[in-house]
Amino acid sequence: MNYDHQYLFIDFEFTMPESKGNPKGFFPEIIEVGIVSVTNQEIRDTFSSYVTPAAFPLLTERCKSFLNIQQDQVDNGISFEQLVKRLEEYERRGASTIITWGNMDMKVLRHNCQKAGLSFPFKGKQVDLSMEYKRFFGDQNQTGLWKAVQEYGKEGTGKHHCALDDALTTYNIFKLVENDKRYLARPEPTTIGDRVDFSKLLNKFAL
């Protein structure tokens, strides 16, 4: 981990169609954002907000039920343009690495920017932590965010499918994986003979 570098842990929640047969022209829109900014291994700040969808403003029952988000919450949220401005403010702080769980967050952000005629706000490296996790542990399948936390014997932060809680949980997994990488990168462990001064031990038993 580069200590002076900014790491942005981001999670978005999106609109969902009522059924698999998408309504004509439907595409997922960001309706909630959670951001955790980390520098020098410390959380610098967090940001959380609902976002008002523009193309399909009415949430489906499936979306409200699955994400536990109500219509009035997104109606009173920030606009997508305001969200992009906020992301640009983070970008202007300096070199950043964007870390998400899965690749959908950045895909949907990029697509939403195209639909709104806005520039994609990030220039830095983007990391899909779920793929890093999969490669690191040799899993055959990608693991869900909270399942990954539980595999570490931990619990997720707050409530699953709450954007800020998921962003915080992603940060927590990142720290656990980084610690494991450092552990594996250590030199070969010393033998017990290297660790124990047998002459002192024998003298002790000789007393």
Catalytically active residues are 13, 161
Could you give the C-alpha distances from 109 to 33, 97, 116, in angstroms and in order? 11, 16, 10
C-alpha to C-alpha distance for 141 and 130, rounded to whole angstroms: 10
Look up tokens 């949980």; give the residue: 169
Q: Which two tokens stand for residue 19?
A: 């059924």
| Contact (Cβ atoms closer than 8 angstroms) between residue 106 and residue 127 | no
Q: Which residues are CB-contacts of 9 (< 8 A; sequence separation ≥ 6)?
A: 35, 36, 38, 99, 100, 167, 168, 170, 171, 174
DSSP summary character for residue 185: T
Q: CA torsion sign, 38 to 32 to 20 to 169?
A: positive
Strand partners, 146: none
